[in-house]
């Protein structure tokens, strides 16, 4: 019998990948409880001055100045197919960094994806509540029926504080090519 400890893909003896915890930021988007990986969050800001952009869809609320950098602000509710957010006292902007989808175009010198750098975007949400930890194994598949949000925008579903929470797939919600096409095809009336 082999007495060596079993190595898993997590790289540690006896620890299965499903035993790892995920830290998620719980927030309100319309009537929905949503979460995003805290690893993707750069900062959380009060809603400040937004400069509107002409001829853009409802989900583009404008741009903001973030320490000298121009950052687009996306109304997360409108992007997910809900009515746009009415800014209130608890509304805030969650600044996230969405990694581009993997491609084969990698810069040979830096190892970076030269054509598609990470996208920094502010997500306008109704409220931010807390950061919570959940086992990776508790993130379940999105059911085929019963969600008001397009299932492709969700990485999965989890539970916290007695409610079911959709875990956003930021790479899909903020897919640069799709967002660019939606903005280019927008015909304001």
Residue 46 to residues 95, 123, 138, 173: CA-CA distances in angstroms? 11, 11, 31, 22
Q: Answer yes or no: is 111 within a domain.
A: yes
Q: In angstroms, rounded to a whole number, what is the distance separating the alpha carbons of residues 132 and 51?
A: 33
Query: 3-state class of 158 per DSSP?
Result: strand
Q: Answer yes or no: is 155 within a domain.
A: yes
Q: Answer yes or no: is 11 within a domain.
A: no
pLDDT of residue 115: 62
For the chain, strand residue ranges (E) read 21-29, 32-37, 41-46, 60-66, 69-75, 92-98, 119-125, 127-135, 154-160, 163-168
Dihedral of CA 74/80/83/88: which sign? Answer: negative
Tens-place pLDDT, residues 120-179:
999 999 999 999 999 988 899 988 776 788 888 999 999 988 899 999 999 999 988 888
Q: Answer yes or no: is 69 within a domain.
A: yes
pLDDT of residue 11 exceeding 50, the answer is no
The CATH number assigned to the domain holding 28 equals 2.40.50.180
Domain range enclosing 173: 22-185
Confidence of residue 55 (pLDDT cuts 50, 70, 90): confident
The whole-chain average pLDDT of the chain stands at 82
C-beta neighbour count of 96 within 10 angstroms: 26
Q: Answer yes or no: is 15 within a domain.
A: no
Confidence of residue 99 (pLDDT cuts 50, 70, 90): confident
Q: In angstroms, rounded to a whole number, what is the distance separating the alpha carbons of residues 75 and 123?
A: 6
Q: Answer yes or no: is 33 within a domain.
A: yes
pLDDT of residue 4 exceeding 80, the answer is no
pLDDT of residue 146: 66
How many domains are contained in the chain? 1
Tens-place pLDDT, residues 72-90:
999 999 999 999 999 999 9
C-beta neighbour count of 37 within 10 angstroms: 16
Q: Answer yes or no: is 116 within a domain.
A: yes
- This prediction's pTM: 0.79
Q: In angstroms, rounded to a whole number, what is the distance separating the alpha carbons of residues 163 and 95?
A: 24
Q: Give one DSSP letter per residue of 69-100, joined into a string.
A: EEEEEEEHHHHTTSPPPPP-TT-EEEEEEEPP
């Amino acid at each position: 019998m082999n007495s060596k400890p079993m190595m898993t893909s997590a790289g540690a003896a006896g620890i299965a990948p499903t035993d790892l915890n995920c830290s998620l930021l719980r927030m309100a988007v319309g009537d929905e409880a949503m979460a995003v990986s805290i690893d993707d969050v750069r900062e959380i800001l009060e809603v400040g001055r937004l400069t509107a952009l002409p001829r853009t869809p409802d989900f583009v609320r404008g741009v903001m100045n973030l320490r000298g950098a121009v950052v687009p602000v996306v109304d997360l509710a409108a992007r997910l197919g809900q009515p746009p957010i009415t800014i209130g006292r608890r509304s805030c902007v969650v600044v996230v960094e969405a990694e581009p989808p993997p491609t084969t175009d990698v810069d040979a010198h830096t190892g970076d994806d030269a054509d598609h750098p990470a996208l920094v975007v502010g997500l306008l949400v109704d409220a931010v509540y807390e950061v919570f930890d959940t086992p990776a194994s508790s993130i379940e598949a999105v059911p085929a029926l019963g969600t008001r949000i397009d299932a492709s925008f969700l990485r999965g579903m989890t539970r916290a504080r007695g409610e079911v929470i959709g875990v956003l797939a930021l790479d899909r919600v903020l897919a640069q090519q799709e967002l660019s096409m939606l903005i280019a095809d927008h015909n304001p009336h």
